[in-house]
Structure 1
């Protein structure tokens, strides 16, 4: 172990013993009561670890040993629990989405497929609370309890299984919520990657106190977004396109010493360079932001470390403007009690808190990337902004070298550019079909042909990569258009002497009725009686030629090229 691991190990064992004594789960024998009293009297530091300044070395050693015993006991219980679970990975994911659907229906009174917007969600929840408060509370509580029980049985096992996936696997993150931008990013990246590991956005609602305003509404919105991915889960693909896992962020921040120290270390490494003097803890950082507020704010604002929620990096704000935008963005989202506390904070500590809120999900993204052996991926420029700053501060590579190449990472970054946002218009059900046919791997290989020259010349410029990816996609669409033209030319001579217009349509449908095997390909469903007068021998002959053309076109249209050509704006 290095010194950081040693420190976090000892801190965790002390915290475990401290909590166990307060909860009555750990008792020292009478002869050691003085040490028990000393441990109980110890306060917690700003990051929630046991403050050992006033403790004797013997008490620290005894408490650490007791914490180690509690840890071993917990690990054995967890192992027994995991060994008992043998449910297939895909079945567990399907069950999770069944619970998501049930909870959404309990909140809104309607299945997710029948709800069209966030505004409709809000109206439905308000109406249910107003007209049927008891029914609403009972149904939501029951669905929540059932989901909570699912998490109790499967959460650790799901996380372990996420580690065993192969192929090009990505882990998303850098934000607390799964909103429209995250959903669009998953849909776009699904055209390229094998598996996307997504931190469960619902788990924190069940496992922790989030200090939210209108929590049922915010929960329903998260469910609405994540449930759009259900077709990818229900497809039970051999290699899952998406895999939802609990990342335990909130519980780790509250209870895990390694996480507490890691977050503190990250904050100090990133923020302390803009402070005068040596900063060694979060307490010292907050103290500096308060007592040296002017100096802190003068250095903070041009540093790019503070970007308000909903803001974009690179926009210069005064400290007053930044504080105002920060608080305004939290209106309606955080509980009134929590928001009132923030409004009373001086500007320096308030904006420092804003930076820390940006860093926490980034820290967990790096941790998940390491633990799961996956490439970290983000969906918004502001999150890439912090990701890159943290990587620089920690002297870390942006990519997981055992998982992905620089070329692939830059390509994934490029396809999320606003100029290629049309890729998110591809329906999830269509994405399922493409992935089922391994067309995402084909697209990956095709785009690599267009970007390989950039990758071979040294460091890749983001703007150059965006241009190359855009050019590649345009070329692929052009290839599809030529393919359709070739199909038309192939059949044109055979149709030249036959009637056209509405008669062709009748002949086409008549032939489809006579050849029912082709009907699904042509999507026709006209009653046979309506065609009785139209289906002459000549028309049927023409219909057969037309069927051949339409079938070829339909197959072409269902390919990756066809989907891109249909979706791409002119």
Structure 2
């Protein structure tokens, strides 16, 4: 078994790794203890299994581990957090490096690539016709980005803890794709700061066992770089802030993380198993030996949703396994994918659930560490988020960060029926946030949802209805405003037409028909006629310009943006 105390488990793991790497040397008199430590396997959670170790060896190893821990803490102090007022500049530098890496991979500026579908063609061309240039340029920028992370990663993470206002942390998924991008764009209309785990950092810090790594890296860069205008704006309160969450490193080296992931899995999955389950080994053993019972309970529980799938869709175990593997073709490395294909169905689907839980665990951890509200972008991630919260008696809402009303509103605006909000360009979002229009919208929507919040627990469907109604009402208000502007200028334009252009027309008739001039009591030279007509047109032009300017100002407000974006 392994220790369930994170500190002791960490010390034992540090000693085990140091002994295997040759950094920890035992004197000859203690060689038997060294042999025991080196022979100890790791558990499924990645902790040292102490079943074959004597009590003396465990105590000795943990003592060595404690010394290693002190050395590590001292080293971290030397690299420790140095408060800085230029964190906006650091984010700008990070995105500049992202842009350079994207160009090195594709041979194109991000502005010249329309969508992710083009990226593969560009990379294949670069690799086929410019292999040396491709390799050299990618390696150079990768080294620069790695050096940036070495200098700034700890400071960036510490800075992420310092923001006030309505701060959110996104997550629940390994990648930053179109759904995550749209969620950030939509939520930017409401929140103050969105903390986003850096999707590029893992590519440089870990082996992700991916197929076509350069392609997948470029696609991640393409999506995250869409947020660059929000970063380059250097807003006093950053609308988005990218931070490294160190997930892969923690899963490899941190006992607290290993134990936390194991306990999360046991708390969520063990209730569908018969008997007492206390470790990941026992979960996998049950999924193999009691495969039929396990799969029946798993598929009916809704705990397994394959990649690309939606919660609530009933699949057989065979269909689920097939869809799971199919979705990973071309994404996972061939070696890993081949290993997965040979796994028993029970173990394979259990692994699928564990893969869903890992990013959720880190989302909860980041939420607690950063003092931010966790927020997700897809229904399937909300599905797991809620199940984990129920199984572990965890609140979905960070009570010291956000009200239940605001949390439910944020959940509501992620609904598919309001996906049109993601059509607002990021450059427009920058202008709205610069003018604090997101706070205005927050206050306006609160007026529509406050009654729900005052009557007790809020039903999600009811909140979606209220938010949709609120947005529709705000759009209607904008359309009325535009009509009022038109009405305001209509009498003036009518007066100009009546007294100017129409009058000029009568004068022109008199000149053209001199015999009628005495009857009209008009005798105006041609020069005067030209002046009259020109003056009328200028008067009309001024009134039209005034109307256009007012409409433009109205259109650039939050109401105007919503009105032009919302489908009719």
Residue 64 of structure 2, aligned match among 63, 66, 84: 66
Distance 2:419 2:37 in 1: 56
| Structure 2: gaps (5+ residues) | 502-530
Local SS of the residue matching 2:481: helix
Residues 544 and 19 from structure 1, CA distance in 2 versus in 1: closer, same or farther, beyond 3 angstroms? same
Q: Which stretch has the larger CA shift, 141-150 or 174-183?
A: 141-150
Local SS of the residue matching 1:48: coil
Displacement of 1:484: 1.0
Mapping of residues 108-147 of structure 1, within 5 Å: 108-147=106-145
Q: Counterpart of 2:37?
A: 39
Q: Which has the larger radius of gyration?
A: 2
Q: Deviations over 1:423-472 (max 9, x none)?
A: 00000000000001111001001000000101111111111111100000
Residues 290 and 189 from structure 1, CA distance in 2 versus in 1: closer, same or farther, beyond 3 angstroms? same
CA RMSD of the aligned region, Å?
1.8
Would you say the 8 A contact 1:5–1:258 is kept in 2?
no
TM-score with structure 1 setting the length: 0.91
Displacement of 1:226: 0.2
Distance 1:355 1:169 in 2: 29
Mapping of residues 300-379 of structure 1, within 5 Å: 300-379=298-377
Q: Deviations over 1:522-548 (max 9, x none)?
A: xxxxxxxxxxx9993332222222222
Work out the number of aligned pairs and report it. 536
Residue 471 of structure 1, aligned match among 461, 464, 469: 469
Would you say the 8 A contact 2:82–2:155 is kept in 1?
no
Q: Counterpart of 1:507?
A: none
Local SS of the residue matching 1:52: coil
Distance 2:4 2:404 in 1: 34
Displacement of 1:491: 1.2
Distance 1:252 1:270 in 2: 21
Residue 209 of structure 1, aligned match among 207, 210, 218: 207
Q: Counterpart of 2:90?
A: 92
Displacement of 1:5: 10
Q: Counterpart of 1:525?
A: none
Displacement of 1:64: 1.6
| Structure 1: gaps (5+ residues) | 504-532
Distance 1:233 1:469 in 2: 28
Residues 384 and 490 from structure 1, CA distance in 2 versus in 1: closer, same or farther, beyond 3 angstroms? same
Displacement of 1:47: 1.6
Displacement of 1:86: 4.1
Local SS of the residue matching 1:171: strand
Q: Counterpart of 2:516?
A: none
Q: Deviations over 1:348-407 (max 9, x none)?
A: 101001111111100110010011000000001000000000000001111000001111
Displacement of 1:489: 1.1
Q: Counterpart of 2:555?
A: 557
Would you say the 8 A contact 1:194–1:241 is kept in 2?
yes
Residue 403 of structure 2, aligned match among 393, 402, 405: 405
Q: Deviations over 1:181-237 (max 9, x none)?
A: 000000000000000000111111111111111111110000000000000000111
Distance 1:95 1:82 in 2: 20
Would you say the 8 A contact 1:168–1:195 is kept in 2?
yes
Distance 1:534 1:24 in 2: 98
Mapping of residues 532-547 of structure 1, within 5 Å: 536-547=534-545
Local SS of the residue matching 2:80: helix
Local SS of the residue matching 1:53: coil
Would you say the 8 A contact 2:192–2:239 is kept in 1?
yes
